[in-house]
Amino acid sequence: MSTDVPTPSNSSSELKSTASATTTSTKNGRPKIVLWGDSITQMSSSALDSGFSAHLSDAYQRRADVYNRGYSGYNTDWFLSYCKTTEGYNDILTLGGIDHTASGKGKEKSSVELVTIFFGANDASHHIHNKRQHVPLDKYKSNLKELIMLARKWYGQKVKIILMSPPPVYHAQRLQYQIDRYGKEKATGILERTLELSGEYAKVVGEVVNEAENENVAFLDLWTSMQEEDKDGWSRFLSDGLHLSRDGNIFVGKALLQTIAKQFPQVAVHADQQTGLWGNSASKCGEALERFGPWHDEINFEQEIFAKMKKFEKELEGGGNESLKRKRDESIGDDKMEK
């Protein structure tokens, strides 16, 4: 199973290295959360639909940046192939900041703390009615394992990974989607995706997680949890029987944060209990994260200016050092401007 990718150039030659790295702290810049997936992930940045990517960005404001790497229409085969191109390498794998070239030798620490892997909606297409996007179950399973290896190689061996199952498929909505898009005359009435098929692929995702040789892999079973959340009305989580509706995005956003809090508490964020806000001094985060820049209510400019004045006054005692006086005045002046 290969996770080699090309050298970052116009060449199609591949890098061949098994070196790894560990995750990083805020000393290496703001941590990253990277989302791998298909159209469901690509569309999750939608503010209009309260996308789950936007939900994560809200929760992790000033603590981590969320990078959406969802590609509409892709299955696991196509995503892996894209990662092996120069464009895919630069677009996806370099986010970790690990250099596997001969000079780099993979020594840099990754800035990626968490990656989600969310494929299956296209892989689970019917092998006859949508042969183009269909990926056989056994190949899908091996592809997921390769994606885990790829994440660990380029984002670090300690990167936290959440594998997400495909959501359930609602047949009536899929058939209506055909009519809405192609008209009654051209709609085939044949389901190219089914609830049963998506369930088989969801089960495989769970198997991959159970077989993963690392404790930093968690499973978010959307196929089951969505149906259990609303046994008679789970179709409200879908817009066309396949993609997420606004309710579906909100459900997935909350489910992701709950999974992180349970499986990876060191990178979990907890909102201010009084206001529900994620980005203020009353919000809390796990030990692996810090907020960037002091919260506004942690800043006391008057006190800082006074402390600097006292420091310079001590340095000036016993002599009239004009350069120190100018340094003091410039420093105080800068603080006043910032204030």
Contact yes or no for 97/108 (Cβ under 8 A): yes
Beta bridge partners of 118: 37, 164
Q: What is the pLDDT of residue 99?
A: 77
Judged against a pLDDT cut of 80, whether residue 274 lies above it is answered with yes
Judged against a pLDDT cut of 80, whether residue 56 lies above it is answered with yes
Average confidence (pLDDT) over 239-262:
98
Task: Select from 226, 204, 218 the least CA-distant residue to 262.
Answer: 218
Q: What is the pLDDT of residue 9?
A: 43
**Tens digit of pLDDT for each residue in 153-173?**
999 999 999 999 999 999 999
Active-site residue list: 39, 240, 243
**Tens digit of pLDDT for each residue in 84-98?**
999 999 999 999 988
Classify 108 in phi/psi space as left (phi over 0), alpha (psi -120 to 50) or beta: beta
What are the E-state strand segments in the chain?
32-37, 65-70, 112-118, 160-164, 217-220, 269-270, 284-285
Q: What is the pLDDT of residue 232?
A: 92
pTM exceeding the 0.85 threshold for the entire prediction: no
Identify the weakest region by mean pLDDT among 148-152, 232-236, 245-249, 326-330. 326-330
322/240: higher pLDDT: 240
Average confidence (pLDDT) over 306-321:
68
Average confidence (pLDDT) over 8-30:
43
Confidence of residue 5 (pLDDT cuts 50, 70, 90): low
Neighbours of 222 (CB within 10 A): 26
CA diameter of the chain: 96
Tokens linked to 168: 């359930």
Judged against a pLDDT cut of 70, whether residue 8 lies above it is answered with no
**Tens digit of pLDDT for each residue in 212-248?**
977 899 999 999 999 999 999 999 999 999 999 999 9
Judged against a pLDDT cut of 50, whether residue 297 lies above it is answered with yes
Q: What is the pLDDT of residue 298?
A: 83
Q: What is the CA radius of gyration of the chain?
A: 25
Confidence of residue 299 (pLDDT cuts 50, 70, 90): confident
Across all residues in the chain, what is the average pLDDT? 86
DSSP string covering 78-131: HHHHHHTSHHHHHHTGGGG----STTTTT-SPB-EEEEEEE--TTTTS-TTTTT
Q: What is the rounded CA–CA span in Å between residue 116 and residue 267?
A: 14
